[in-house]
Amino acid sequence: MNNKISVFSGVIFLSFASAFATAKDFTVSNFSQYQQAVDKLQPGDRLLLGDGEWRDVELVFSGKGTEKQPITLAAANPGNAIITGRSNLKLAGEHLVVRGLVFKDGYTPSDAVISFRTAKPASESDYSTVAVNTRLTEIVIDDFSNPDRYETDYWVSIYGKNNRIDHNHFSYKRNKGVTMAVRLDTVHSRENHHKIEYNYFGPRPVLGSNGGETLRIGTSHFSLTDSFTTVAHNYFDRCDGEVEIISNKSGKNVIKNNVFFESRGTLTLRHGNGNLVEGNAFIGNGVDHTGGIRVINANQVVKNNFMSGLTGSRFGGGLVVMNGVPNSPINRYHQVKNSVISDNTLLNVDRIIFGAGSDEERSAAPVDTRFVNNTVINDSGESPFELHDSVSGIEFEGNKANFSVDEALASGFSLVKSVEKPEYDLPIEKSEVGVSWYPKPEKNTLLSVAKKMKVESGTDTVIDAYQQLESGAEMVLGEGDFHFSKTLLLDKPLVLRGQGKEKTRITFSRKSLVDLKNGGSLRLQDLSISGVRAPDDKANAVIRSDSAPMTKNFVLELVGVAVSDLDINKDFDVIKLRKSTFADHVLVENSTFNNIKGSVLKLDSERDDYGMYNAEYVTVKNSTVTNATGGLMVVYRGGTDESTFGPHVYMDGVTVTASPTPKNGEASVLLHGVQRGLIKNSHFKNSAPILVQHTVGGPVIRIEDNQYSHKPLFKVESVVPGMESTFTAENNNISE
């Protein structure tokens, strides 16, 4: 018996040995060695990139392996081959494996960092330029972002068939373009059966434009083609780029057992039929604009998903079933038909919408669709349901809720009185995806600073101290006069905290006090700033964003700050954000502004009407503005696409005097294309009106409980004729 086994194992061993007898490892340490080796690769061979930096390399990896003996491109030591600079990787052939490479500190010179083809195939039968049966695994792409924020590229462009993309780490894509795209543009890439699994899709900051999707499968043009792509066990961590986290635009895909953690936007079944969305978890934790699933098209199945703490509204709601366009063109909205939404659990989801987008064009309400055995629990006891059109084409049955639902749905629901929250385990944990050897980012804020230091008054004392810093800091400024003879070029987080508006005083003698560079964020607190020593020049500003595009979002905060004497002959704003730069938030609180030859907040440099803008959240509270010729704020978001959440503007307890006077200016507050705005408890004295210009996207602007001395308080204009206005004004009172 023993003898038999040993003979048998011996045979196995020999057959292995002979099969791999010719397999070789080629370890290379520079690009020319790489190029020599890559052409020689035979099935079973491995091409290993040595440790260190691989700068400005365009790697083409092609070859024909076999199922048992793939050809491998890997880091000799996973994580130690760092691809930087202007670099990319193109794959072609079959049975390839790519493993363990890190892309950081650079960007692709072409349209993708990693592409599963080297060129568009020359004919339908020619697969020589496309990768099939290929695995991409343990790859890290971290902030490999084009320095021009609105230059478009993909990080992973998947073509071919039967490819597996697993256990990769993708974080901080900051420029325009989908992080990962499954492309169906030739027959070589349709009905592809790709598997995208166990990947870590890390933070994708708000882009402030269309083109911030994390994963797209197909495009509208080929959307009636089946893709057969499986997306399973991935973790989407704070993927906030735009309203679509996943944009599904093809048929027969399976999106299963993924986690969407505090991610703004939704999984959108935008185009294509017959998709399955099952067993996913959407954990919003009450974060703004967190959404769930948006259903469009026919034969879709949405079952057994878990949703919790989702705040999204409109197309970004927790569960949204859209209206279609009758005989829709391929790129518009196909009617929801023959679809099933069942066995889902929705806890504290703010909005569940049927017939979303109903208007003159989108008039086809869902038909032959079932909403069954779902459980909807809201701690508030309020119904999250919104019916924007007829639900007669949807059958409701066997659902549970802890609140009384609309009459049109009532027969399909039973009331659950004692709320017992279901136990729930996430389908995948963050620690189980991506790679173990590269850290996953924890939560932090852009103004997190560890170091604290004191700086005394004098000329350039702050700049001198700043230049010694290796990372951000809080500087506590003493009493007295701080003069800046140079502009502070800020590329790190900085807090400047004085002793009070009268006690710590800042002046400067250049066109700006601070220019923000990539990586910079700023908070000014308890101090005063005077423009009295600034030059009489045009386009001065106390704080400006960079004149070059910035990929990194930033925050700006002025708390307890007095700004005065920006009253030169030409123009002088307090905060001016320039083109292709984007603030996550701008906060002004307990501050005063006097004699400003410009605007306090000038956030309008994206005038091309391409749907970009300068700041996501703009908040002004408990402050006064007097004699600002350009008004308190100018916020501009042009264009008609519906891909962004913001801008948001919130104003509370602000006194605006002669900023500008009614006859000398167009607006004290200009909101163009602002998506959400609230102006309340404010006092407008001898000032031009608030000007609200609606563009698109169902904006919600409210003006409430304000006082004003001159009519009108506000003007509302619609840039797109016939658009539904969601503007409201209440309880505003005229007084002297």
Amino acid present at 679: I
In the block, tokens 């908040």 appear at 619
Of 159 and 645, which has the nearer Cβ to Ca ion? 645
Residues 198-217 contacting Ca ion, CB under 5 A: 210
Stretch that binds Ca ion, among 74-82, 429-437, 552-560, 642-650 (CB under 5 A): 642-650
**Whole-number minimum distance, CB 212 to Ca ion, in Å?**
7
β-bridge pairing 102-107 and 81-86: parallel
Of 244 and 515, which has the nearer Cβ to Ca ion? 244
In the block, tokens 């104003």 appear at 651
DSSP 8-class letter at 461: H
Name the maximum alpha-carbon separation found in the chain: 107
345 touches Ca ion by CB under 5 A: no
**Per-residue interface string for the shown chain with Ca ion, residues 412-431, x marking contact by CB under 5 A:** --------------------
**Whole-number minimum distance, CB 455 to Ca ion, in Å?**
45
**Whole-number minimum distance, CB 669 to Ca ion, in Å?**
29
Of 210 and 530, which has the nearer Cβ to Ca ion? 210
- My answer on whether omega of the bond before 326 falls inside 30° of 0, hence cis, is no
**Tokens, residue 406:** 């609309």
**Tokens, residue 100:** 């363990």
In the block, tokens 């024909």 appear at 64
**Whole-number minimum distance, CB 219 to Ca ion, in Å?**
11
Contacts of 179 (CB under 8 A, 6+ apart): 154, 155, 156, 170, 173, 201, 204, 213, 214, 215, 241
Pairwise CA distance, residues 34 & 27, whole Å: 8
**Whole-number minimum distance, CB 122 to Ca ion, in Å?**
31
**Whole-number minimum distance, CB 390 to Ca ion, in Å?**
28
Of 244 and 389, which has the nearer Cβ to Ca ion? 244
Of 316 and 318, which has the nearer Cβ to Ca ion? 316
**Whole-number minimum distance, CB 242 to Ca ion, in Å?**
5
Radius of gyration for the alpha carbons in the chain, expressed in angstroms and rounded: 29
Q: What b/e string do you get for 156-181 counting C-beta neighbours within 10 Å, with b at 16 or more? A: bbbbbbbbbbbbbbbbbbbbbbbbbb
Of 210 and 257, which has the nearer Cβ to Ca ion? 210
Of 225 and 266, which has the nearer Cβ to Ca ion? 266
- The Cα-based distances of 525 to 453, 494, 557, 652 in angstroms read 15, 11, 8, 19
Q: Which residue has the CB atom at the shortest distance from Ca ion?
A: 643
- Can you tell me which of 72, 257, 540, 643 binds Ca ion, judged by CB under 5 A? 643
Of 133 and 223, which has the nearer Cβ to Ca ion? 223
Of 250 and 530, which has the nearer Cβ to Ca ion? 250
Decide: 530 and 502 in contact? Cβ < 8 Å: no
Of 272 and 493, which has the nearer Cβ to Ca ion? 272
**Whole-number minimum distance, CB 659 to Ca ion, in Å?**
37
Helix (H) or strand (E) holding 373: none
**Per-residue interface string for the shown chain with Ca ion, residues 27-46, x marking contact by CB under 5 A:** --------------------
Which is nearest to 406 in space by CA: 389, 386, 390, 388?
Answer: 386
Pairwise CA distance, residues 58 & 56, whole Å: 7
**Whole-number minimum distance, CB 641 to Ca ion, in Å?**
8
Stretch that binds Ca ion, among 259-267, 458-466, 636-644, 717-725 (CB under 5 A): 636-644
Q: Report the SS3 class of residue 187.
A: helix
**Whole-number minimum distance, CB 214 to Ca ion, in Å?**
11
- The Cα-based distances of 54 to 72, 87, 105 in angstroms read 18, 9, 11
CA angle 719, 724, 726 (to 5 degrees): 100
**Whole-number minimum distance, CB 243 to Ca ion, in Å?**
7
Number of chain residues interacting with Ca ion (CB under 5 A): 3
Strand ranges for 87-171 from DSSP E: 88-94, 96-99, 102-107, 112-115, 131-132, 135-137, 140-142, 154-158, 164-166, 169-171
Of 294 and 505, which has the nearer Cβ to Ca ion? 294
Pairwise CA distance, residues 384 & 318, whole Å: 9
Q: What HEC string does 221-251 produce?
A: HHCCCECCCEEECCEEECECCCCEEEEEECE
**Whole-number minimum distance, CB 91 to Ca ion, in Å?**
26
Of 216 and 501, which has the nearer Cβ to Ca ion? 216
Of 294 and 579, which has the nearer Cβ to Ca ion? 294
Of 320 and 618, which has the nearer Cβ to Ca ion? 320
**Whole-number minimum distance, CB 353 to Ca ion, in Å?**
19
Cross-strand pairs, 180: 156, 215
Residues 238-277 contacting Ca ion, CB under 5 A: 244
Stretch that binds Ca ion, among 221-229, 255-263, 515-523, 639-647 (CB under 5 A): 639-647
Which is nearest to 649 in space by CA: 673, 681, 622, 667?
Answer: 673
Decide: 473 and 452 in contact? Cβ < 8 Å: yes
Of 210 and 250, which has the nearer Cβ to Ca ion? 210
Interface residues with Ca ion (CB under 5 A) are 210, 244, 643
